[in-house]
Structure 1
Amino acid sequence: MATEHDIRTPLNGNEHGQPKEAFLDSPPDYSDNAEMFAHTLDDQTVRRHFIRKVFVVLGMQLLFTFGLVCVFTFSADVRLYVGKTPALYYSSFGIFIFFLIVLNCCGDVRRRHPWNFICLALLTLSLSYMVGTVASFYETSSVMIALGSTVAVCFAIILFASQTRLDFTYCYGFLLVLSTVLIMFGFFCIFFYNHILQIVYGSLGALLFSVFLAADTQLILGRHRFSLTPEEYVFGALILYLDIINIFLYLLMILGGSRQ
């Protein structure tokens, strides 16, 4: 026979026992970026489903971006066109920044289907055009070597991050400081440009985002101190995508500087 203690107790109730807001075991309210990070993903089934969605979305983004890079690299007509229309590049940059802010700051949009995929698709399209435009100014051999190196490096980093016991998710504060230093170094390189500085800057950038990729991979796998909540698969795909694209651009900078 059920007793009075078997009845679920509400958070707030009146004297008649009617709930005013929600029960203690009701699901959390994800508003904006609240509860974006979880300490663990204990449910193995949920975690595997979350990881699968992240890497499926990431794979589609990378296939589109690197496919567009190949078109911009091998087609002489496309290379000539993008060289004559810099306004499209700057427009793509503005679109990219807008949707990057939306996906990072607006948690409700980022977790609401289909708006999350629409925003992510537009961000991917704009960044792909920017990356393709940058690649069109380099030699075809440099672009292909950078592309192959990016695939190999990123695969090795993701594999290492998934197997190691080192917790890179504790390094975000340190990585933020290094990012600031890298930005200042890049600003310095504008006024004192030479090939050696370009190679050094590209090497430091590739190294920094390689560590970012390791930390973000562990954030998604959920086997360490911090992890993303299962609802944040779009954000998970976004951060991995940006890490890989940055690694590609910095490797391209190294190869381009070494061939000049």
Structure 2
Amino acid sequence: MDLEVSEPIDFSSGDHQHLVQKAADDNIQSKSARSYGTSSSTHGPQQTHGNPHSKAGEQGDTYVVEISAETTTEDSNPLSGPFSEAAIRRAFIVKVFFLLSVQLLITGAIISLFLFWKALRVWVVKNPWFTYALLPAFFVVFIILACCGKLCRQVPANYILLGLFTILQGLLLGTVSVFCNAEEVLWATAATALVTISLTLFALQTKCDFTLLSGMLFVLLFVLIIYGILLIFIRSYWLHLLYAGLGTVIFSLYLVMDVQLMVGGRHHHSNLHPEEYVFAALNIYMDIINLFLFILQLIGLGR
């Protein structure tokens, strides 16, 4: 008996079981028929010569099964993965926005101290070593958060590192605000809040997938860094204005992309894990802070 299966078989769904059972039943029936034919031939005249099925009876049954490539549930279900359930994604988004709100409140409170406390402003201006001492500590904590993925998933280490990073970032922004007018900082804060809310709503509603621009945005960020280094040695109003405008555009796109990465769903790239809510909050927080700095620079150049 020859059994040939031309259609693909999904072994994960159990479609092969009825084929195996059918093959076993046909095998039993064929053996019964052969045994019946043998017993009848012992009582009657032997007519085995010229029988076209005599050689086929001596050979074992041949089964030809064509099996397609292995199909799994993850391939058939595009929503499978760590965010397969909507409740998991919803809890992840709530955690990210909660941490982000706390970070922004802490940062705003620290900046307000440097902005409205005159004695502190004078002390920072007279002691520049304070700013230089904050920089290495800030970059060390930032590198740990960005590179140590396992540590960012461990509680409470991830919260401690994120809180320390937020405080250091707030202190650095406070030292920057000392050299700016209070009105400029307030206008920059209001503009940043308006832009952030607008871009977040745009990222949640638009059908455009900005996660595909990750490579291009990285190249633009690298160009922006080199451009900023050159401006240290070049004193030009228009070049500084162009630099501030380019930085505002780049980090606006980064904000939209990071929000879509957090939301996931239909977007092409969404490699975040449910336990990486600290990393997601850190990305959006840095986008907002950089956006604030470039808007502050635009306002300062405009005045």
Shorter-chain TM-score above 0.5? yes
Q: Does 1:108 align with 2:150?
A: yes
The equivalent position to 2:179 in structure 1, one of 137, 159, 163, is 137
The equivalent of 2:163 in structure 1 is 121
Normalised by the length of structure 2, the TM-score is 0.71
The answer on whether the counterparts of 2:89 and 2:263 sit within 8 Å (CA) in structure 1 is: yes
Q: Deviations over 1:190-216 (max 9, x none)?
A: 111233222221111111000000000
User: Take 1:39 and 1:94, find their aligned partners in 2: how far apart are those partners?
Assistant: 38
Shift of 1:72: 1.2
Higher relative contact order (CA 8 A, sep 6+): 1
The answer for the alignment partner of 2:3 in structure 1 is none
Taking the aligned partners of 2:302 and 2:122, their CA distance within structure 1 comes to: 24
Give the gaps of 5 or more residues in structure 2. 1-11, 13-79
Counterpart position of 2:286: 242
Q: Secondary structure at the match of 1:230?
A: coil
1:204 & 1:39 partners in 2: Cα distance? 37
| In 2: Cα distance, 1:253 partner to 1:71 partner | 21
Report the Cα distance in structure 2 between the residues aligned to 1:240 and 1:193, rounded to whole angstroms.
32
Q: Contact conserved, 2:258 with 2:284, CA < 8 A, in 1?
A: yes
What CA distance in whole angstroms lies between the structure 1 residues aligned with 2:98 and 2:127? 33
How far did residue 42 of structure 1 move? Answer: 3.0
Matches of 1:40 and 1:203, distance apart in 2: 38
- The Cα shift of 1:39 comes to 7.2
1:18 alignment counterpart? none
| Aligned match of 1:226 | 269
Does 2:92 match 1:43? no
Name the CA distance, whole Å, in 1 between partners of 2:150 and 2:213: 27
Identity %: 40
Cα distance in 2 between the residues matched to 1:41 and 1:168: 20
Residue 74 (structure 1) aligns with: 116
Q: Highest CA radius of gyration, 1 or 2?
A: 2
**1:152 alignment partner, one of 190, 194, 198:** 194
Give the residue type in structure 1 aligned to 2:268.
R
CA RMSD between the two structures: 1.6
Query: Which residue type is aligned with residue 256 of structure 1?
Result: G
AA in 2 matched with 1:71: L
Q: Choose from 95, 100, 106 the match for 1:53.
A: 95
- What residue number does 2:131 align with? 89
Task: Using structure 1 for the length normalisation, give the TM-score.
Answer: 0.82
Report if aligned partners of 1:206, 1:251 keep a CA contact under 8 Å in 2. Answer: yes
CA–CA separation in structure 2 for the residues paired with 1:45 and 1:81: 50
CA drift of 1:117 comes to 0.7
- Report the counterpart of residue 295 of structure 2 in structure 1: 251
Q: Could you list the structure 1 runs, at least 4 aligned residues long, displaced by more than 3 angstroms after superposition.
A: none
* 1:40 Cα deviation from its structure 2 partner: 7.4
CA contact (8 A) 1:195 1:258 kept: no
